[in-house]
Amino acid sequence: MLQQFMMNQKCWLEHMMLNRSSGMDPDGIKLRAAKGLEAADYLIGGFWVWGKMVENLAEIGYDSNNLYMAAYDWRLMPHLLEKRDGYFTKLKYTIEMARMSAGGRKVMLVTHSYATQVFFHFLKWVESGNGGKGGDQWVENNLESFVNIAGPTLGVVKTISALMSGEMKDTAELGGLSKFLGYFFSVSARTQLARSWSSVFSMMPIGGDRIWGTADSAPDDVAAASPLTTGKNSTMDPKKVKEHVERFGTSGQVVRFVNTSHENVTVGGVQKLLGKLDPYLDTFRSWLSTGIAEDPSLPEYDQSKYWTNPLEAALPKAPSLKVFCFYGVGKPAERGYTYGDNPPDEDNVLVNGKRVAPYVFNTDIDDLPYIKGGLRYSDGDGTVPLISLGLMCASGWRTDKFNPGHVDVRVREYRHNPVSMLFDARGGPETADHVDIMGNHALIRDVLLVAARAYDRVPENITSSIMEIAERVGEL
Determine the Cα–Cα distance for residues 134 and 150; give it in Å rounded to an integer. Answer: 28
Query: Is residue 202 within 8 Å of 377, Cβ to Cβ?
Result: no
Looking at beta carbons, which pairs linking 7-16 to residues 24 or more positions away fall under 8 Å?
A: 9/184, 9/185, 9/189, 13/189, 13/193, 16/75, 16/193
202 secondary structure, DSSP code: H
Ramachandran assignment for 427, one of left (phi > 0), alpha (psi -120 to 50 degrees), beta (any other): left
Q: Which residues contact 103 (CB under 8 A, 6 or more apart)?
A: none
Pick the catalytic residue: 79, 112, 121, 434?
Answer: 434
Residue 347 among the catalytic residues: no
Helical segments of 111-186, H only: 114-127, 138-142, 158-165, 169-172, 177-184
Determine the Cα–Cα distance for residues 184 and 162; give it in Å rounded to an integer. Answer: 17
If you count DSSP H runs as helices and E runs as strands, how many of each does the chain have, helices first?
20, 12
Determine the Cα–Cα distance for residues 420 and 180; give it in Å rounded to an integer. Answer: 27
Pick the catalytic residue: 381, 433, 436, 446?
Answer: 381
Pick the catalytic residue: 112, 113, 251, 378?
Answer: 113
**Residue type at 46?**
G
Largest CA distance in the chain: 66
Q: Is 206 helix (H, G, I), strand (E, B) or coil?
A: coil
Determine the Cα–Cα distance for residues 425 and 437; give it in Å rounded to an integer. Answer: 13
153 secondary structure, DSSP code: T
Beta bridge partners of 108: 145
Q: CA 461, 467, 470, 476 torsion: positive or negative?
A: positive
Element (H, E) at 361: strand 359-361
Query: Is residue 389 within 8 Å of 365, Cβ to Cβ?
Result: no
CB count, 10 Å around CB of 177? Answer: 10
Residue 113 among the catalytic residues: yes
Residue 220 among the catalytic residues: no
Residues labelled as active-site residues = 113, 381, 434
